[in-house]
Chains A and B, each alone.
Chain A
Amino acid sequence: MRRNSGYPGHGSKLHLYMMALMIAGTALLSGCAKNHKVKSDFPDMVVEPVDLRVVLVMNNDFRTYTAKPNKKDRIQLGEAQTEALTKAFKGLFSDVNVVYSWQRGGPDADLVITPAVREVQLSSPSDSYQTVFEVWIKYSLDISTADGVPIDSWFLPAYGKTPYSYLFSRSKAIEEATIMALRDTGAKLMLDFFRIPAINGWMQQHFAANEQP
């Protein structure tokens, strides 16, 4: 007769409790989403700024934004995207005033730009069967005059990936891919912002009007 203690059935009950605890722990851990903090350190842009006064509106939601691309991962983007877009627009324009809300923009601005995150997507090697992590960030930029006249709402997609995933932890790889995507935001803005037909047209009108005596 096998018994682990002086009480009949005590050992098997203990085993059951332990197993239940382990199953509950595993379920809890697998259900918990992991936060990935993205560092905010981006270089200045080496470009010729256009002589315009711009108000960049980044509200508290944008500055503290956390992306939820799936059930497992939370990417804390807010601080990094604020820094990346601030540096990008400070490279594009000679005078950039970064504010929390439209009302604080002041009347002297030429353009008011309000970025918002539309979507963040993440692909990991287990999803794509590739050896890299990939991040897509989709922004929309609402661009208007200081009087509130809308000029355009521009879709700004950005993409970043890790060179390979072997030497990275999941968290580090997601951070790396997100940083690459945020750097790509600056590159995309530099290439395409002034080519947006509505912006291009508005700028031509603006500079022509300012040249007139």
Chain B
Amino acid sequence: MKHTAIILLMTATALAGCGSTTTVDDYRPTAEPMDIGTGDKVAVLGRRDAGHYETDRDFINCLGNQLSKSNFQVMMEESFVDALYPWFEPRTAPKHLNRLKKIMEIPTVQEKIRSEKISYLVWLDGEVESHDMSGAMHCGLGPYAIGCFGYTSWDKVVTFEAIVWNLQDLTEEARIRVDSEGTSYVIGIVAPIPLLTRVESEACVGLGNQLLSYFTQEVE
């Protein structure tokens, strides 16, 4: 009975600690909603030019799925990069609007964007970092028993920035920064029990909802 109470207490403490804090900051040059026609697409792309990290593909897919809940179509990274090859490869992808404007002067690129009906491009840049690992967990295998005992925890910080480019007007429509942090635990009581913080999914939902709030569907 006493042991059960201790285990319950530990689990409750750990679960309470698994919560995360998410902050979404945005900047828009105008408060006007972003119009998107029926059948038009929003492409979601990750930055690939940094040497030491790449924008997490799972996060890009998560944001794509989040945006798919709207009425407009979402063009996933692979399809967009293939459709406009080789203009959005790590070596060639435009980092600033001026470069995008140069690329959009090329008739074949213009035609491709028009035929694919891509209205907006969402650039995602950021990473997930784990740090401050503490505690110790020991797992053993013996002739009569097998199990893990101990406790370990670590902090996870997610930082992403989304920049929205309008591919018709060639302007920047919005910048959104999302920060999310939380602590994950693994408690070893014979079997290891992971209690993981859901910082990525919270950041993804926060960013997705903010982006969705900008778009209004044009009725034709």
Contact = CB atoms under 8 A, between A and B. Distances in A.
A183 B112 contact: no
Contacts of B176: none
Interface stretch (A41-49, A110-118, A203-211): A41-49
Interface residues of A, number: 17
B57 A163 contact: yes
Contacts of A183: 85-86, 89
Contact of B85 (A44, A164, A188, A191): A44
Interface residues of B, number: 19
B82 A43 contact: yes
Contacts of B86: 45-47, 183, 186-187, 190
A144 B81 CA distance: 33
A188 B90 CA distance: 11
A37 to B, nearest CB: 21
Dominant secondary structure of chain B at its interface with chain A: loop
A142 interface: no
Interface string A147-190: 00000000000000001100000000000000010011011101
Contacts of B84: 46
B154 to A, nearest CB: 16
A47 B109 CA distance: 7
A184 B91 contact: yes
Interface in B22-79: 48, 54, 56-57
B191 interface: no
B108 A184 contact: no
Given A163-B54, A163-B57, A190-B86, A46 B112 contact: yes
B107 A48 contact: yes
B168 to A, nearest CB: 18
A69 B91 CA distance: 24
Interface in A34-70: 42-48
Given A46-B112, A183-B86, A184-B90, 15 more contacts: A43-B82, A46-B83, A46-B84, A46-B86, A46-B87, A46-B108, A48-B106, A163-B57, A180-B90, A184-B91, A186-B85, A187-B90, A187-B91, A188-B91, A190-B92
The 5 closest A-B pairs by CB, nearest first: A187-B86, A43-B85, A187-B89, A43-B82, A163-B54
Interface of B: 48, 54, 56-57, 82-87, 89-92, 106-109, 112
